[in-house]
Structure 1
Amino acid sequence: MSEERLVEIETKIAFQEQTIKDLNDVLYEQQQEIERLGFICDTLAKRVKELSEFAMGIDAPANEKPPHY
């Protein structure tokens, strides 16, 4: 194998290693963001449920028909 060919292969490998590292860093950041957004989503879902239950207790008693009936 020629010296030129060997240098070319080593250069390509170095670029591939850097690309893999960069992609890994981005993937890690995305996973952190997904976990953060999941936590926010869970928190908001709980809050919506609490507010819904609270509103149901105030606005419309469970067995009472609306006034237009």
Structure 2
Amino acid sequence: MSETKFIDLETRIAYLEDTVDDLNKTVYHQSKQLDEIQGLLNNLTRHMKQVQEDITELKPQDEVPPHY
């Protein structure tokens, strides 16, 4: 192989390594965001269950409506 081909291969390898590093950083950041969103979703789910329980406690199901 000529020296030009070696330089071309080295350039391509360097470019691919940079691309892989960028992709790894992107995956890492997306993973962190996903963990944060999952935590928020868990908090929201817990809150909604509590609200449903509070509503059930405040309004008994067998209460006769006022128009009867």
Deviation at 1:68, TM superposition (A): 6.2
TM-score (norm 2): 0.89
Determine whether 1:61 maps to 2:60.
Answer: yes
> Percent identity between the aligned chains?
34
- Paired position in structure 1 for 2:5: 5
In the comparison of the two structures, how many residue pairs are matched? 68
The 1:11/1:68 distance shift into structure 2, 3 A limit, reads: farther
Identify unmatched segments of 5+ residues in structure 2: none
Determine whether 1:14 maps to 2:14.
Answer: yes
Match of 1:2, as an amino acid? S
Structure 1: how far apart are the matches of 2:67 and 2:35? Answer: 47
Deviations 1:8-54, CA, capped at 9 Å, x for gaps: 00000000000000000010000000000000000010001001100
Runs of 4+ residues over 4 Å off in structure 1 = 65-69
TM-score (norm 1): 0.88
Counting only pairs closer than 5 Å after superposition, residues 39-58 of structure 1 correspond to structure 2 as 39-58=39-58
RMSD: 1.4
The 1:13/1:61 distance shift into structure 2, 3 A limit, reads: same
Between 1 and 2, higher relative CO (CA 8 Å, sep ≥ 6) is seen in: 1
Deviation at 1:63, TM superposition (A): 3.1
